[in-house]
Amino acid sequence: MNTGTAALVCALRGPVMLVTLGSLLTMHRFTDVTIGQTWPILLIVFGLMKLLQRLAGPAASGSAVAGPERGQG
């Protein structure tokens, strides 16, 4: 994957988690399904987003590019 894809994965992680949480809370409110039964879905979605981040490359992992450190000199 390229740098643009890596940035897209990072940008979508928060909104995807919020939409998932909102969907689970809506199911809890309007059906007989409780949050206690559906919270593992949040872990699955988080894991999938981390996997996509890992596949997107090092730009998505938040690691710093090697270079001179501040305070030296």
End-to-end CA distance of the chain: 37
CA-angle at 54, arms to 23 and 13, nearest 5°? 25
Residue 40 tokens read as 């593992």
Query: What pLDDT, on a 0 to 100 scale, did the predictor assign at position 7?
Result: 84
What are residue 72's phi and psi, to 5 degrees? Answer: -90, 140
pLDDT level of residue 62 (50, 70, 90 thresholds): low
pLDDT tens, residue by residue, 14-49: 999 999 999 999 999 999 999 999 999 999 999 999
pLDDT tens digits for 48-57?
999 988 888 7
Helices (H), the chain: 3-30, 35-56
